[in-house]
Every structure is written in structure tokens, then in C-alpha cells.
Chains A and B, each alone.
Chain A
Amino acid sequence: MTADRLVKGPGMLLVWLYGVMSVGAVSRSAYQIATEFDRAPLAYSLSAVAAVVYVFITYTLVRGGETARRAALVCCAAELVGVLTIGTWTVLDPAAFPDTTVWSEFGYGYVFIPVLLPVTGILWLRRARRVAPAA
């Protein structure tokens, strides 16, 4: 393990939550796209995008290192933008979404974890750089 590993302290809790969201989003979108894609193509495609983002962030957190930290930071920002955009979109135009996505209504169906996770993720990743300056 290198000195700049990201999975330590609060990072362990973060990687657990990202892992759970990855498993949840991947299995959910795989099932929905495989069985009933025609019912709500937009919602299910967006869920699949969210799943890819979660898996990638989990992977970069586990991998660690400065490059991974930067990549994870970018993805957390993209995730936050995604949650806010989709969340607002589902509130303003519910008709576009016959079924919910992971990010519908700011992650209401997932105890708002989808909107809280990127914020804590960004805070943690920024702090990780201060604590462990480029070794």
C-alpha cells in the first residue's frame, strides 16, 4: 500500500457507500434494460450512466494515488451535476419519466444518498491531498 491510499479513515466508509450504490445501480439498470427497456428508455439509460459513474468512482477510490484521486474528483463533480440536473428535471417534467431513475428527485428513493455522496466525496478527496502531499 502506498502512502497516498484513499481508502483509510472516513474513506473506508465512503468506499463502502459507493460500493453499495454501484451494486444497486448496476443490478437495477441491468435488470430494467434487459426486461422492460421500452417502457422508460430515458430513465433506464440514465440509471445505466449513473451505474457506470458509481463503479468508476469505487474503482478509483480503491486504487488510490494522485491520478486516481483527480479522476475520482472529476467524477464526483460530474455525479453531483448529474444528480442536480436529473433531480430538477424529474421535478419539473415528471411526464418524461414513466419510471424513476436512481437520481430521480435528488435520490429521494435512496434516502438522498445520491445527492449527499458526491458532496462528502469531494470534501474527502480535497482533504486527502492536503494530508498526503505528493509523495
Chain B
Amino acid sequence: MRLLLILLAFVVSGCAAQPDTTLRGDPLDVMFLQMMIPHHQQGVEMVALAKDRAQDDELRMLAAAIESTQASEAGTMRGWLTSWGEPLTAPPDSHTGHGGMRRSDPEEVGRLSALRGEEFDRRLLNVMIAHQDDAVQMARWEAGSGAHREVKDLADRIERSRTAQIGMMKKFLDRA
């Protein structure tokens, strides 16, 4: 039964149907959302650490704003998948053939948690630049080849806001 469920989720998510073609349209929308929800969640977990650990006030403010905006976006994304009757998460590795799950190392939260002050600031900035750079990659693909207007619009906002965040974070690093 479990295998059947996995297969069902897999087929519905559109991967198996066309393994030989570049993913686009409805199946890309689904994959994008299924990949971005856990990615957002990981980002939220990392920036949430800034509240008690960051030294730089501007970094703390940016981290808090990233935390609340990404939590809100994740809610919107879950709502779309639910309304389409699609699973919120894809079977592990089912998207590897199309670009994989770009997820930061879960152990990073542990490594960050152990740091304080300037050391924490530098590590969080570098990790979040990498994390948001991954988000830009996924968003660019969806914005260019997705199907639903509202999903493509969100992807476009993700691409622009993460690019701007990376710019801010690089400035923070330069002065750290």
C-alpha cells in the first residue's frame, strides 16, 4: 500500500509521466511548490536563530523580516497544493531527475546554534546568501517555465526579493 501511495504521488506530481522532457507547466508548478515549502522552512529555522544570537541590529531586523515573509509565503504555497489536491511533499528524491531538492544541510542549524556575536553573524550571512541563491535558481526556472500565473508571480517576487537580500547581506559581510 505504501508503495502504491508513493507511486501515486509520483505520477500525480508529473515526474514519471514525462521523464524524458524538460519539466514545465503544471507539473513544474507542483514540483516548485513541493521543493520550496521545505526550503522556506529551513530558511525560517536558520534566521530565527538571529533573535538571540546576532550582534548586528540591521541583520537582526532583516532576519526577522525574512522569517515572517517566508512563513507567510509557505502558507500561500501550501494552500495552492491543497486546493489542487496535490501532496505537500514529494517522495524523497523523486525530483532528482529534474534538478533535485536543493536543501541546505540540516546540520547547519546545529552549527549556527553554537555560535554567538560576530562569529554567528558571519556564518548566518554566508549560509543565508547560499540558501537564497538556491531559491533564486528554483524561482528563475518556475518564473520562466511554470503554468499558473499566481505561482509564476510568486516565483518572480522570490527571485527579486532574494537577489536584493543577497545584496544587503553581502554589504553586511563587508563591514563585519
B and A form one assembly: no
Which A residues have a C-beta under 8 Å from some C-beta of B?
none
